[in-house]
Structure formats: structure tokens, C-alpha cells
Amino acid sequence: MSANCNTTNLRGVKAKRLIKQIYVYVILAIVVAVLSMLKGDLFQRGNFLFPPNIANLLRMSAPILMISSAFTLIFITGNMDLSVGSILSLTTVVNAILLLNGFSFLAAMVIVLSLGVVLGFINGFLVMKLRITPVIATLITMNAYQGLARYLVPPGISSITNTDTLTMPEWMGNFSKGQVFLGLSWAFIVAIALLIGLVILQRRTVFGKYLVAAGGNRTAAELSGINVVKVVWGVYILLGAVSALAGVARASYLLIGEPYTGTGAETEAIIACLLGGTVFSGGEGSVVKSFVGALIIVCLTFGLKSVIPEYWQMLAKGAVLVFAVVLNHLLSKETAVA
Amino acid sequence: MESNVLEIKGLVKDYPGVRAVNEVSFEIKRNVVHCLVGENGAGKSTLIKILTGACERTCGEITLNGTDYCARNPKEAREKGISTLFQELNVVDQLTVEENLTLGIEDTICGFLRKTDKIKKIIAVLKDLEPSINPKERVSRLSVAKKQIIEIAKAVAAETDIIIMDEPTAALSESEINRLFTIIKRLREKGVTVIYISHRLDEIFTLGDYVTVMRDGKHVATKPIAEVKDRSELVQMMIGKTVIESYTPKEKPAEELLLELKDVCNHKLRNVSLRVNRGEIVGFYGLIGAGKTELARAIYGADDYSGEIRLNGEKLGKSPEKTIRAGIALVPEERRTQGLFTLLTIKQNISAMNLKRISKLGMINAMQERNTAKDYIARLNIKTDSMDKETSKLSGGNQQKVVFSKCLFANADLLILDEPTRGIDVGAKAEIYAMVRGLVEQGKTILFFSSELPEILNSCDRIFLLYEGEIKAELQNGIDINSQDIIHIVTGGTAS
Amino acid sequence: MSKQIEGKNLPLAGKISNESYLNRVMFLVLIALFGIASLTIGNYFSTATALNLIANNWYIVILGVGVTFLLVSGHLDMSVGGIVAMAGVLSAYFCQPANEGFSELGQGLGMPYGVAIGLTLVCCLVIGALNALFIAKMRVASIIVTLGTMSIARGVGQVAALGAQRSAGMPDIFGVIGNVPLFGPIKIAAAIAAILVIVALYIEKNTTFGRRTYLIGANREAARLSGIKVERHIALLYLLSSLLAGITGILLASEMKAGISTRGTGFEFSALVVTLLGGASIDGGVGSVLGMVIGAMILGVVSSAAYSMLLRPEWQFILKATVTFLAIIAQRYLLDRRSR
């Protein structure tokens, strides 16, 4: 018989599958454990796990949690969206402008979300209708949106903030900084709700199923009658809307409209999804695990802040990305066939 | 209800320069397994493409269940009642069995998936065909055989009239094939007609109720299997009279050993051992899936293998870069995706395999490159007005000549040709045959891989017959070659 | 159906390659834009403007050489901006003397300038090697890897400059090479860029190395089957790109007499923009350094026109994006029409 017949190591395969399922949680646990041992007594003031500290961390991280969860969907379809950070910047600025000019929280949010939908629509148009490679298309929109964000801030000042005649409403920070329950903010609760919503979308809706089909085997999907163009376009719109929601949260947290606030968000989202086991080629991805991946990033960013100087952040981020890439690569070697 | 599920009348398909389907007429009865056989180039694939909507007929009528049938794409074909199982499986690996079965036909309420009776019905169909498949299992974990069954179940549940299966057993084990046959027989009871295409004649006899033979684009015969005497009759119909041009055996027999393979194995090849002498043209004949391309690529070092290959006594390296240096060149099977740089010009393609020869210390000698291109364009009669034309703009025959030029320029002693005349017009084919003969006169050695028997018989000194990755027979040309025996062997029969 | 663009309906006999065709079209676009700017903006048409074009864009051209070669082979490099920053800071850090009594930012390693530059370039090559390892060998998507290495490179720069810049107590030689004047506002860096471009043009068209780059980009598998060592070649391209980025960073730092950790932001996108403007295809196999230079000039004209019109600096983002978008669509349309 053929000398090349190798018996598939079934136990090894099962073990690998298990590792793939849980490694993101393990990494989170390790990160949290290490951070909690760096400084101070456990759970006491000064320690990473000091409850008010954790609450602060979660309040701050709502935007990135939202974006990372939704980012998974675009990866699942086998595409990319590098403009999420710029949408975050732009919508933060617009939200700040609206609030400064007397709009109510709800009205401003509706307008900003609509803006997010439009921006996502443009992304989808470039990628699916004009068929420009996603990377290039979203690099283009990333720059356009970022420029717009800075443009909306009058020259001479660095961000949208109180002027001589207008002031930010005093309730502005309530969404992201007001403590509702166990120190958590509304924004964080919304991020959790969004996560739940995306999970339901992923697992229980036709749209979620079609995402996997579009990314896993586009031919088979189209043969089954699925309009792949519409499906992927929809994801870009959704991602735009979520990034806009993150902008509302960010504006509320910063209390100003800082136009460069979203820089690097796309990299963080990518890291989160990679840590969560999402695959570039499409068809795979879990919203929950990307969320956990985002938590890992947030813990590292926040937790290391008091230990290492600010200027180590960028290097750390790059190292984590490379680490996530390697990990993802090693674990994505196909688990064999029964 | 009509007893004929499908009627084809006067079907014609013309491509520029060739008539692929020539006034084909026959009928397919309901609830049978109707087999379709013929050699490569017989027209089967084109016929199937028309039925599945992948291409358009030139003229002719097709009637399905008594009504006119016309499909512009596979999706429409499926809706009208003809499903096809291609060799590239159309399942989404990342979804479960259940999700695949309901892909595109889900029941929803406000976008949410609902489990209704429809789903239960489809799963029942699947369970009926193959109870061991767990609907909740991810498809990526299933074997190719089971993925096929899922596709079949989907088609049955959609109540298609006809399921076309194109070489379905190519990737299956024996037990899986038996299971597939059981399922196919059951399909008849469910009111489905199966059009079964295969080169494995034994399968035809085991499975088929009817058989249609095509040859050279024409319909030869449609008969109940019961009326077909034996394999030979079928083979005779498939090949008709194979006209062998006068093959002139060599005056001086080639005796110096050039290439030796010992127990070469990989995912497709099984213990291939053979020897090739300098100056020979050695043919490798077999049908699709026999392992020809895999063997060609293994020798060339493009794919990995275990076992030994020696050239001039030296072990051959396992990368194209090394084998090229050792003096081997490959004309690949897929010209456009593997052999040619379609974005680049003729001139740039020709020099690609041996840049060293037109350069010194890394600097390209433009004049030399131009002269080389001019030389080959003339020698091989490549029809173009300029050597700076992008190769994407050339015809198939001229493209192949560019690939040949590229390999010739690499100064190889041993040339491996994998389906060198596929998709090429008759005129260019003749030129290539002449070129091959000329090369051998210059002292080159040729390995000629092909699925067209006539060209193998016309050109090669020795012929290896392949089936399922194994060498089944070795024949000396010129000595009482019997085409029937050959077909017999390459379709799975045993050598007498 | 025929879209008559003034002066741009060149004979479409198919006699010149697509590349030359696009180069000529983009050159005409450049002239047209320069003309429009001259007509609508006062004082635009002057030697000062032309000289400034060169003086302000030489660095994108150097980066563009590396990016063009990579794009022709079918790959991206988004790490160049980060390498520019890293090289600037490291070149400062390595040669900054250990000044007594200065703060941490004033204390460097005090190496001789030549050694400092050499070591800096080695560090840049390390980044390039990382790219090569993940992209050429492990075949991970180049966009993701180079985003990571960009962060690493910039991160190294930030650490070495403590988030700010190194400019205190620099030796005199540090500011020499970036400031040697050539002609008006043009400094020697532009000449270096010009030399690199000429060398690159030669390599691109007349060497086996250049040819292999096109072959790999046109059809990676066919290139492998033709005996090309594809992985090694791609690795070399990434090393080359990082080296060029390092040179750029060193020159810029010398010009400013400071190693600034925030330098180079957006450079990777600008380099990509000018390469695409020059007619390079995103999928590889098509593109040229000559086109990239024309693209750099176009971008330069657009930027300087915006500046002269007193548009706010953030217009740069929007302009770059719009110009790239228009170029991609227009080039696709022109080539489509040409091949019918």
C-alpha cells in the first residue's frame, strides 16, 4: 500500500480543537493573574483587581469592546475594514458638536448612528460594488474619515470642547462615566447588550448564517441563492453603526470631541479578533471570543499603565499583535477529517 | 406522465474553430441510472455544461418533463429540476450538516431562523440515505464521501428530477463507493433520475440501467445496459477506429539510462517505479484522476513525495529550482494559471525559466533577450505581431507555444509535457507533435502525459498506463498495440 | 461612448505597454494639475514652487521605491512609517553623547556617527526580517503583519525617545548629512533620492532581480514552477524596504537635528498612494518606479496647491484619499477601454 498513509492522530486532533476553543480565556486568565501580582495586595487599593479599578477599566473600554465584537463579522466574511478607528474619531467629534449645540442625548445618538450607517454604506459600496480590494478601499476611507474628523474641529483648537458661548451639557459624562450598577457604566452595559445581540445575530439569524456561507464558500453560497454582495455590504453598514455607537460612548467618556481618539482602534480590533481565534480567510469567528480578546487588550493597556511608562504602549501593542498572529497561525492548521 | 424525463434533440455547441457537440439526440428515461461515457474531448463535459446552465447551446432542443428547458446558470438549472454534483463540493465546511441542507431555503420569522417541518423533512431524507451522519456535526469534519451525500440529500429534498454526478467516485474508498451506489439505487425509488458520468467502466455495468456513448462530439449509441455485451463493446463504441499514423520506431534503440524512479509515493501515487532512457519519448496514458499530473509534478519536484528519483544516477532535488538546474523542464497542465505569466509579454515569458542565460552578473542583456524571443517566435511559429504583446491576448495554441519556448530555453535534457495539447486547435496540435519529434532527434528525452490516446500512440516509443496512481502496464509501441486493451486497463480492468 | 479627455486620447494602437500608457496619462495629469493650480492660484507658477515640490517630497519617493517593488510582487508594507520614526530616534540615541547632568533624554550612547547609522540600519533590517519571516515564510497576510511591525518599530522609537524626541546635545555631525544644501531649498537628501530612483529604475527593468519581482507578482505559482526562489525573493524585498525606510529616517532626523518619535505618521499610506497613482496594480505584476515618481509629484502638486489655497492641513487626509480613489477607478476604466 502507499507508504504515505499516516494515521490521523485522533486524540491529538481532539486536544487541538479543545485548545482552539478555550485558549483566549486562558490567556485572559493569565494576563489578569499576572497583572494582579504586580502591585499591591490582592483586591486592595493599588492592586489591579481592586474593584473600583476594574470598574474604571470597564467603563473606559466600552468603545473598543463594541468595535471588536462587531469586527469579527467582517472577518468572518473574509473581508477587512481598516476605517473603524476613523469612524470612531469622526463620530466622537460629531457627537461632541451636537451635544455642545444643545441636542439631547438621544437625538445626538440617532444622528451619529445614522452617520455611521452612511460611512459603512460607503465602505460597502467601494468593496462590493466597485470591487476595490477591502484593504485599499478601507485605507482610503480611513484617511478620508479621519481628515473629516479633524476638519470638523475648528482650526486652532485641538478638540471640540467648551467655548465662550457654549458648554457641554453637564450630563454628558453620564453614559460612560456614570456608575449604574457595581460601578459599571451605561456604556458598558450597552456593550454587553450589543454583544448579546451580535451573538444572537450570529447564531440565530439567517443573516449570521449567510455571513459564514459567504466567507466559507462564496460559490456554494451564491449557488444556494444567497446575495453575497448584499450580505457583506450589510456587514460594513453594521460595523459603521457600531463604530458610531462607540463614538457616542467615547465622547461621553472624554467629555470632549477629540479627533484623533480612534487612531489605532482598527489594530486593537484586529488583535482582539486574532486572539479570539478568528481566521483571515473567512468562515470562522466568534463574537464572544473577540470580546474576550478585547478584554485582554484592555487589561494590558490599562493594567500596564501604572507599571510601565506610557511610551512602552506602542511597542507592547505591536508585540501582542505579532504574538497573536503567530498563535493564530499555529492553531489554524486544519483539524483533520473524520 | 412521460416516460422520458429528458429529451435532447439536435443539440449543437460550437466554439470558435471547433464543434464540441454535434447534432446530439437521445432520450433519458425516468427513474433510471443513465450513464454517460466517452473519452476526453468526446463532448460529454460540454453537454453537461449546457444542461447545468454553465454554458449556452448554439442550437437544438432540450425538453424536461415535456416542457422546454433552458437554464442560464446553475442556480436556475437547480430550480428547474436539474441538480449537479461537481467534483468541487458545494458545501460550506464551516456550517453544520443541517445548516448546509437548508442553505438558501431557510424558514425565517423576521430574519430569525425557525425549525419547521421543512427542516425535519430534509433531515429525514438525509437519514434515509445515510443514517450515520449527525445533522449537528460540522461539515468540515466529514469525509468527502459524506459531503457528497449531503449534496445528494439536498437535491433529493428539493425534489429535483435529475441529479447529474460527474466522476463522483474519484475521491472515494471502496466501501464509500458501495454506499454511494446503494444510495443511487434508492434514488430511483424516490423518483429521481441520475445521470452518471464516469470513466470506470465497471461502475457503469454495476450501476447503470442505460448508457449513452459519445465520441468526437457525436452521439454514438444509447442502449439499456442489459443489451451491452461486455466491456469491449463499450470500449469499441468509445474509441471507434483509432487511426494510428505511421509510428516509426527508432532506428537506434535508446539504451542509456537517464531517469529512474523507485517506489515513489505521495497522496496520490502508489509505489511508482520506472526507468526512462535518454532519447526516448515515453508516454503516460490514463484518464482523469489516474495520477498523471501528480507523477509529472513529483518528478519535477513541484510536489513532495517519498521514494527516490534519480537523474543520471544522481538523486534529484525536490524543488523546481533544483530540477531545472539538473536539466528538467515542465510544461504544466494548466497553462494559464501555472505555465504562463499572462500579465507579461511573450518576450518576458520566454526568458523566465533561464534568466541567467540572458544576463550577466544579474544584468539583463536586452538585445539577447529580444533575439531569443525572435528566434523562438520564428522556430515555433508563434502567431503574433510583436514580442511585446501580453500573453493573455494570445490564442490557446500560441500560448502553449510560448510555454514550450520557455521550457526549451531552459536548456532541459528532459522535458515533461503534461497535457500539452489540451484546448488547442488542430493545426497547432500538429505543430507541437512535429516539434516533439524534432526535439527527440536533437537528443532530448520527453515524458508525455496525456489523456488522449491517439496522440500518445502517434508519438511515444514506450507507453505506461496509469490507473489510481499506479502503473498498471508498460507497452512498447509499434508492437501490436491494441487500443481496446489499453482502454480496458486504464478504466480499471486487469491486464490479460 | 468615447470619453474625450483633452489631450489624453493617445493612439490606442496597443503598441506601447499598459505601463507606459498609464505613465504617459499620469504625466499629463500632472501637467494638467500643475497648470490648473498655476492658473487659479496666484504666485503658484514659480521656480520656488517647483523646487519645493522636490524638497518636500523626496522622502516619499525613497519610501515609494521599496513599496513599489513590494506591490509589484503582490505585497504591502505598512511598517515603513514606523521604521522612519525608529531610525530617526535610534540614530540620534546612538550618537548622542552621554552628556553629564542632562536628563535621561539628553544621554545617549555616544557612538561615532558612522557606527550609529550602521547600527540603526541593522535594527531596521531586523524589522524587515520580521516581515520577511511572517509574510514570505509563514505566508500570513502582509497587511496584518506589517501593521504589527509598524507598531513595534514605532514603539521602539517611542521607548528610545521616552515618547518625545532626542535632540539635546547632539554632536554637530548629526545634522550634516540632512542639511547639505544643493540648490535653493533642495538638500542632498533629494539627490540621494534621485540616485536611488535611477538605480531602482535600472534594477526594475534591466536586472534579473527586477524581472523576478514582476514574475512573482504576475503569477506566484508559475514563478515557483519556473525555478524562482519565491520566498527568498520576497524576503529580500522586505529587507530592502526596511533599509530604505531606515535611510529616510536617518536623513530626516539629520535634517531636523532631532530624532522625533512621532515622525513618519502616515508615511506608509502616502507611499502606497503614490505607488498606486503611478499605475501599480494592487494585485501585483504591474507597476513602476517611474510611475511612482510621477505619482509623488502629483501628490506634491495637490498638497502644495492646497497649502497655497490656505486649506487647512487636515485636507491632506481627504485629498490623499480622494486622489487615490479617483486614480484607481480611472486607471481601471482606461485599461478596460484599451483592451477592448
- Helix H or strand E segment including B320: helix B320-326
Distance separating alpha carbons of residues C231 and C222, to the nearest angstrom: 14
B97, B124: one domain: yes
Residue that has been written with the C-alpha cell 505581431 in this structure: B385
* Amino acid, res. C302: V
B155, B287: one domain: no
Distance separating alpha carbons of residues B234 and B201, to the nearest angstrom: 8
pLDDT-flagged residues of chain B (< 50): none
B300, B414: one domain: yes
Q: What pLDDT is recorded for position B202?
A: 82
Buried b (16+ CB within 10 A) or exposed e, B464-479: bbbbbbbbbbebebbe
C-alpha radius of gyration, chain A, whole number: 21
Domain-terminating residue out of B239, B265, B283: B239
Tell me the chain B residues in contact with residue A216 when contact means C-beta distances shorter than 8 Å: 92-95
B297, B445: one domain: yes
B231, B205: one domain: yes
Domain-terminating residue out of B239, B268, B301: B239
Say if the Cβ atoms of A206 and B106 lie within 8 Å.
yes
Q: What pLDDT is recorded for position B252?
A: 66
B221, B91: one domain: yes
Question: Quick one: which of C276, C327, C243 has its CA closest to C76?
Answer: C276
Tell me the chain A residues in contact with residue B143 when contact means C-beta distances shorter than 8 Å: 337-338
Q: What pLDDT is recorded for position C339?
A: 76
Q: Are B57 and B10 in contact (CB under 8 A)?
A: no
B218, B285: one domain: no
Chain B: residue whose CA lies nearest to A226: B104
C198: containing domain: 18-38+46-338
Report the 3 state secondary structure along B18-63: EEEEEEEEEEEECCCEEEEECCCCCCHHHHHHHHHCCCCCCEEEEE
Nearest to C318 among A147, A155, A270 (CB): A147
In a domain, C4, yes or no: no
- What count of other Cβ atoms lies within 10 Å of the Cβ of residue B288? 14
* Strand, helix or coil for residue B449: strand
Q: What pLDDT is recorded for position B1?
A: 54
Distance separating alpha carbons of residues B24 and B222, to the nearest angstrom: 11
In a domain, C236, yes or no: yes
Strands A184-185 and B18-29: unpaired
B200, B264: one domain: no
The DSSP symbol for B359 reads E
Long-range contacts of A52-58 (CB under 8 A, 24+ apart): A52/A183, A54/A183, A55/A179, A55/A182, A55/A183, A55/A184, A56/A183, A56/A302, A57/A298, A57/A299, A57/A302, A57/A303, A58/A183, A58/A184, A58/A185, A58/A188, A58/A298
In a domain, C125, yes or no: yes
In a domain, B203, yes or no: yes
* Strand, helix or coil for residue B494: coil
Question: Quick one: which of B357, B337, B352, B361 has its CA closest to B422?
Answer: B337
Cell of C173: 555631525
Cell of A85: 478607528
Question: Domain of C301: which CATH number?
Answer: 1.10.3470
In a domain, B141, yes or no: yes
pLDDT tens readout for residues C157-206: 999 888 888 877 778 878 888 788 877 788 888 999 999 999 999 999 99
CA angle C2, C4, C5 (to 5 degrees): 140
More confident residue, A248 or C256: A248
**Res C10 pLDDT > 70:** no
Question: Quick one: which of A14, A28, A84 has its CA closest to A235?
Answer: A84
In a domain, C5, yes or no: no
Distance separating alpha carbons of residues B213 and B108, to the nearest angstrom: 46
Say if the Cβ atoms of C152 and A133 lie within 8 Å.
no
Distance separating alpha carbons of residues C90 and A115, to the nearest angstrom: 42
B115, B263: one domain: no
C-alpha radius of gyration, chain C, whole number: 21
List strand residue ranges (DSSP E) for chain C, in order: 165-166, 181-183, 186-187, 259-260
pLDDT, chain C, mean: 87
So what's the ipTM on this one?
0.88
B179, B59: one domain: yes
List all residues of chain C from 240 to 299 with a beta carbon under 8 Å from chain A: 261, 266, 269, 272, 276, 282-283
In a domain, C1, yes or no: no
Strands B193-197 and B210-215: unpaired
The DSSP symbol for B262 reads E
Q: What pLDDT is recorded for position A20?
A: 80
pLDDT classification of C119: cutoffs 50, 70, 90:
very high
Distance separating alpha carbons of residues C170 and C97, to the nearest angstrom: 7
In a domain, B250, yes or no: no
CA max distance for chain B:
80
Nearest to C225 among B338, B344, B345 (CB): B338
Residue that has been written with the C-alpha cell 434515509 in this structure: B128
Q: What pLDDT is recorded for position C40?
A: 85
**Res C270 pLDDT > 50:** yes
Say if the Cβ atoms of B267 and A219 lie within 8 Å.
no
C-alpha radius of gyration, chain B, whole number: 25
In a domain, C10, yes or no: no
Residue that has been written with the C-alpha cell 450598577 in this structure: A181
Distance separating alpha carbons of residues A115 and A107, to the nearest angstrom: 12
One-character DSSP codes across C127-170: HHHHHIIIIIIS---HHHHHHHHHHHHHHHHHHHTTTSEE-TT-
Q: In Å, what is the CA distance from C240 to each residue of A7, C139, C228, C258? A: 44, 18, 18, 25
- Helix H or strand E segment including A184: strand A184-185
Say if the Cβ atoms of B269 and A221 lie within 8 Å.
no
Residues in chain A whose Cβ is within 8 Å of chain B: 1-4, 204-207, 209, 212-213, 215-217, 219-226, 283-284, 334-335, 337-338
What is the side-by-side order of every strand in the sheet holding B4-15? B18-29, B4-15, B59-64, B67-68
In a domain, B197, yes or no: yes
Cell of A78: 473574509
More confident residue, C282 or A143: A143
Question: Quick one: which of B341, B406, A144, B403 has its CA closest to C283?
Answer: B341
In a domain, C320, yes or no: yes
Distance separating alpha carbons of residues B214 and B199, to the nearest angstrom: 12
Q: What is the mean pLDDT of residues C255-268?
A: 88
Instruction: Tell whether C326 lies on the interface with A, counting CB pairs under 8 A.
Output: no
- Helix H or strand E segment including B85: strand B82-85
Cell of C335: 485599461
Question: Quick one: which of A50, A65, A102 has its CA closest to A288?
Answer: A65
Say if the Cβ atoms of B104 and A224 lie within 8 Å.
yes
Number of domains composing chain B? 2
Residue that has been written with the C-alpha cell 550618537 in this structure: C95
pTM (2 d.p.):
0.88
Residue B362 burial (C-beta neighbours within 10 Å; 0-12, 13-18, 19+):
middle
More confident residue, B145 or C290: C290
**C-alpha distance across the termini of chain B, in Å:** 47
Residue B163 burial (C-beta neighbours within 10 Å; 0-12, 13-18, 19+):
buried
In a domain, B190, yes or no: yes
More confident residue, C50 or C148: C148
Q: What pLDDT is recorded for position A69?
A: 96
* Amino acid, res. B160: T
Q: What pLDDT is recorded for position A334?
A: 52
CA angle A257, A259, A265 (to 5 degrees): 110
Distance separating alpha carbons of residues C307 and C316, to the nearest angstrom: 9
- Helix H or strand E segment including B466: strand B462-467
Say if the Cβ atoms of A217 and B263 lie within 8 Å.
no
Question: Domain of B414: which CATH number?
Answer: 3.40.50.300
In a domain, B251, yes or no: no
* Amino acid, res. B309: I
Say if the Cβ atoms of C285 and B355 lie within 8 Å.
no
- Helix H or strand E segment including B281: strand B281-285
Chain A: nearest CA to B32, how far in angstroms?
26
Q: What pLDDT is recorded for position A113?
A: 97
Chain C: nearest CA to A111, how far in angstroms?
22
Chain A: nearest CA to B168, how far in angstroms?
18
Mutate to test the interface with A, among C144, C260, C329 (most CBs of A within 10 A): C144
Number of domains composing chain C? 1
B275, B177: one domain: no
In a domain, B249, yes or no: no
Q: What pLDDT is recorded for position A263?
A: 92
Return per-residue pLDDT of chain A as tens, 338 residues: 333 334 456 777 777 778 888 889 999 999 998 888 887 778 877 788 888 888 888 989 999 999 999 999 999 999 999 999 999 999 999 999 999 998 999 999 999 999 999 999 999 999 999 999 999 999 999 999 999 999 999 888 888 888 888 888 888 888 888 888 777 889 999 999 999 999 999 999 999 999 999 999 998 898 888 899 999 999 999 999 999 999 999 999 999 899 999 999 999 999 999 999 887 788 888 999 999 999 999 999 888 887 788 888 889 889 999 999 988 888 776 543 33
Distance separating alpha carbons of residues A88 and A145, to the nearest angstrom: 9
Residue that has been written with the C-alpha cell 520566454 in this structure: B350
In a domain, B405, yes or no: yes
List strand residue ranges (DSSP E) for B340-431, in order: 359-360, 363-364, 414-418
Backbone dihedral angles phi then psi of residue B35, each to the nearest 5 degrees: -90, 150
pLDDT tens readout for residues A87-139: 999 999 999 999 999 899 999 999 999 999 999 999 999 999 999 999 999 99
Instruction: Tell whether B184 lies on the interface with C, counting CB pairs under 8 A.
Output: no
Chain C: nearest CA to A159, how far in angstroms?
13
Provide the number of CB pairs (under 8 Å) joining chain B to chain C: 81
B87: containing domain: 4-239
Sketch out chain A's domains with CATH numbers.
12-33+63-331 (1.10.3470)
The DSSP symbol for B317 reads P
B167, B280: one domain: no
Q: Are B169 and B177 in contact (CB under 8 A)?
A: yes
The DSSP symbol for B345 reads B
Say if the Cβ atoms of C225 and B345 lie within 8 Å.
no
Q: Are A310 and B120 in contact (CB under 8 A)?
A: no
- What count of other Cβ atoms lies within 10 Å of the Cβ of residue C48? 13
Domain-terminating residue out of B211, B239, B267: B239
Q: What pLDDT is recorded for position A54?
A: 87
